[in-house]
Structures are given as structure tokens and as C-alpha cells.
Amino acid sequence: MDYRTRWPASRLLMAAVAILIIVCASAIGGVAVALMGLKDARGVLLDQVGPARRAVQELDGALVDQESSVRGFALTAKEEFLDGYRAGQETEADSLDTARRLLGEVRPDLVARVDAIGRLTANWRAQYAEPIVDRIRAAGSPQVDVAGTERGKEVFDNLRGTVSVLEAELAGDSAKARADLDAVADQVLYLVIGLGVLLVVIITAVAMVLYRILIRPLSVLADQVREVSSGDFEHVVETGGPRETVMLGEDVDAMRTRILNDLEDLRRSNSELEQFAYVASHDLQEPLRKVASFCQLLERRYSGQLDERGEQYLRFAVDGAKRMQVLINDLLAFSRVGRLTREHTLVDLNETLAQVLDSYSEAIERTGATIESAELPTVRGEASLLGGVFGNLVSNALKFRGEDPPVVRIGVERTDAHWTFTVSDNGIGIDAEYAERIFVIFQRLHHKDDYPGTGIGLAMCRKIIEYHGGTIWLDTGGGTGTTFKFTLPAVEDTEDTDE
């Protein structure tokens, strides 16, 4: 499918975010409405019905206080009993005003009852309480009026009954308001729970959709890219998903195609160069042998007949031809690494090192060298090539020795999936600035007359180690002498057993 027909990832993300915003906004709006209802129900209960009911209850208590004070004054004619009567009137007035104000907001129909209670209270005082107080004050002593007391009690009971009816109705309103508050609270609770469940469902759905249309295509693309980066350049990179993923896949595949073409050109060029070096080296062998042979014949036949300079020239020619032969042989060996491949087998490096040391026994004895080696592991590779690595490093340690007899130490340690080998000596050492130069073919740090060699040995070591899947480097961590380190892939125990 053409990537231009696909949605870009930014649009997909914006759509997902928009859905979440719409759902969250709707849910928040619903919760806000529910909370407003909860606030209103709470206000009705706590700020209106409840205080109005308390005001009526205080009114009832004030009436009882007035009636008790009047009866006490009637029985004793003491003025202090009238303190409760006057205080009750003040409380009555405040309670009536409060009840009228609160009920006018929530129950206007009950305001008339409050007004009626006010009138009944005033009537009770006018018909009973005030006349008794005036009569006793005039007489200066208690006065008992049975008929008047009965009439006053009847009026007061009627008044208390009216107040009780109002208080009972407000108690019902209070219970209803509390029930409404509980119902709204339950609604808010259910709405919040539903909102949480809905958000979980929406987020899960969005995550699944994003995974299918964004994450999974990226994972598939990453797997294919890893497959190509591991060396399978023939693998075609294809992926779906949003526009950016498809475009990225096409770019990676285009890069893979270019790398594949360049790799083919490089392989062809390397093959031609290797073939050229191999053929050129073979073609040079015969004339070099002739030059060396005839120079040696001239030296033997005309020895003593040439002057000193002539014999020196012959020695130079023989030495140059021999050097060239060694150089050509080393170059041939270097070109064969990785080109003439053999099956990799399990190699016991202890046996390989023993064979190397045996071949260098004369040089070791001549220099008084000491070789110390740890127990080496078994690896997979070509024994002859790995032996060449140890041989080159040991040979260099013997060649570039200092004033003291050479001491070569060979160690190894496991580092994850590789073995790390260390070959150190007490020789003249190598400056850190030459850490990379020494592994370049034909690079020498000393004059050929000071130390023999062709400058191919360490380059050969690097090529062999990399051919076996490892790396080699000069350890510049300090100390005297020279320390080389290289890695080789470790062999699993099951592989060793199967072999």
C-alpha cells in the first residue's frame, strides 16, 4: 500500500488524545453536575431545614420557660421568677424571626404557621400571663385563680400542639433532605466508579489500538532491521502501520539495497586484490629465487677474487633477496586468512600453546625466557591460525626484550560471552600513541637492522582474531613492558559435550 494513503502517526495520536479528552470532559461534566446536586442537597439539610427545625425547637423551649416562670411567680409572687419569662420572650422573638427567614427559602407554605404561632403566643400572654402578673403585683401576694389557670393551660396546650405539629413536619422534611443527600451521594459514588471503569476501558482500548497501529509495526520493523544489521542483507524490509513507519521501512530497505550493492562491489574488489596479490607473489617467487641463487653462486665462485666492496654488494643482494622472499611468504599467509576457510573445530588452547612454545624452544633457551601461562579454555576455530596468534605475540616478546631475561605471562578471564586473553611481557614496551599503528600491515616502529621482521605479524594477528569473531588491542593502562589483550567467543558446555 502506498504510504501516502496511510494516516501519519501524529494524526493517530491526536485522534486518540481527542477521544480521551472528549470522554474525560464528559465524565468531568457529569461529576460536576452530580457534585452540584450534592452541594444543593447538603445546603438544604444543613443550612435551611436543619436550622429551621432547631429554631422551632428553641421556640418550644422558650414557651415552656415562659409558662413555668409565670406559674412560679403566681405561686410565690417573687419577681426573680419573671427573669425566665422575659428571657423566654427574647428567645421566642429570635426563634420566630429565624424560622420565618429559613422557611421562606425552602418551605414558604410554613411561614403562615410560624406567624400563627406568633399570634397564639401573643394571645396567651395577653389573656393569661400578663393579667396574672399584673394582679399579683397589685395584691403583693400569691393569687390562685383555678378557672383562669385552666383557661391559660388550655390556650398554652393549643399553642404547644401547633408548635409540635410544625416541628414534626420539619422533622419529616429533615429526614427527606437527608435521604435526598444520601441518594445524591450514592449517585456521585456510582458515577465516579463508572467513570473509573470507563476510563480504564477507554485507555485499554486506546492502548490496544495504538499497539496494533503503531507499536507492533515498529516492533516488526525493528526485528527486520536487526535481521539486516546481523548480516542478512538479502532480507527485504517490509512493514505496515502509520505513514512514518512505512516511510522509515522504505528508507531502511533502500539503504539495505545500497549496502548490498556496495558489498558486492567490495567483495569483487577484494577478491580481485587477493587474487592479484596471490598471483603476483607467486610470480615474484621464481625470479627472487634465481637472484638469490645466482648471487650465492657468484659469492662462492669468485670469493677472494673481488675486492671488499664487491663482496659487500653481493652480500647486500643476497640479503635483499632473502628479505623479499620472507616478505612475500608473509604476504601470502596474510592474504590466505579468511579466504582459504576450513571447518572450525574445538581447539584446546593449552595444546596449541604447547606446540607454539615447542617450536620456539631454541629461542626461549637462547634468551633465558620464562613463559607463565594460566589454564586456557577450549574455543572454536582453526588451530593453526590461533597458534599463529600466540606465536607472533611470544615471538615479539622474545624479540623486543630488554636487558633482563624475557618473562611472558599469559592469562585469561571470562567476560560475558567471550574469553579475554592477556599476553604481557617485560620488554621495551610500546608508546600509547602507536596503539593503532602497530596493527597496520607493513608498519614498523624500529629500523629493520635493529629488529628483524616484515611488519606483518600484528596485522596478521588482528585479521585472525577478527576472523574468529573477536578483537585485539594494546593495553595502554600503564606499567612496564607490553600487554596485548584479545577476545574469542566462549564455547558453551553443551557444545563442548556434543563435540
Q: pLDDT tens-digit profile of 314-330? A: 777 776 666 666 666 65
Mean residue pLDDT across the chain: 76
Using the predicted structure, report yes or no on whether residue 423 has a pLDDT greater than 80: yes
Residue 20 has pLDDT above 80, yes or no: no
What Cα–Cα distance (Å) separates residue 470 from each residue in 178, 392, 419, 494?
Answer: 81, 17, 9, 21
Q: Give the range among 61-65, 167-171, 217-221, 369-373 with minimum mean pLDDT.
A: 167-171
Q: How far apart are the first and last CA of the chain?
A: 50
Distance CA 365, CA 230 (A): 47
- pLDDT recorded at residue 375: 92
| Residue 379 pLDDT grade (very low, low, confident, very high; cuts 50, 70, 90) | very high
When comparing pLDDT for 177 and 202, which is higher?
Answer: 202
Of the ranges 113-127, 154-168, 173-187, 396-410, which one carries the lowest mean pLDDT score?
173-187
Q: Which of 158-162, 421-425, 439-443 has the lowest mean pLDDT?
A: 439-443
How many residues in the chain?
Answer: 499
| Angle subtended by helix axes 130-139 and 146-210, to nearest 10 | 140
Output 269 or 429, whichever has higher pLDDT.
429
Q: Answer with the residue of higher pLDDT: 343 or 117.
A: 117
Band of the pLDDT at 349, cuts 50, 70, 90? very high
Question: Above 80 in pLDDT, residue 90?
Answer: yes
Q: Is pTM beyond 0.95 here?
A: no
Q: What is the pLDDT of residues 478-489, one digit of tens each?
A: 667 888 889 999
Q: Which whole number is the average pLDDT over 19-24?
A: 76
pLDDT for 377 beyond 70:
yes
* pLDDT score, position 1: 44
Question: DSSP string spanning 380-437?
Answer: EE-HHHHHHHHHHHHHHHHHT--SSPPEEEEEEEEETTEEEEEEE-SSS---GGGTTG
pLDDT at 260 over 60: yes
pLDDT, tens only, 40-82: 655 555 556 667 778 777 878 888 887 788 878 777 878 887 8
- Reported as a pLDDT band with limits 50, 70 and 90, residue 411 is very high
Say if CB 408 and CB 371 are below 8 A apart. yes
Taking 60 as the threshold, does the pLDDT of residue 211 lie above it? yes
Q: Is the pLDDT of residue 437 over 70?
A: yes
- Residue 413: pLDDT band by 50, 70, 90 thresholds? very high
Closest CA to 205 of 23, 368, 431: 23
**Three-class secondary structure assignment of 285-326:** HHHHHHHHHHHHHHHHHCCCCCCHHHHHHHHHHHHHHHHHHH
State the pLDDT at residue 9: 61
What's the pLDDT at 498? 52
Predicted local confidence at residue 193, as pLDDT: 83
pLDDT at 354: 92
| DSSP annotation of 237 | P
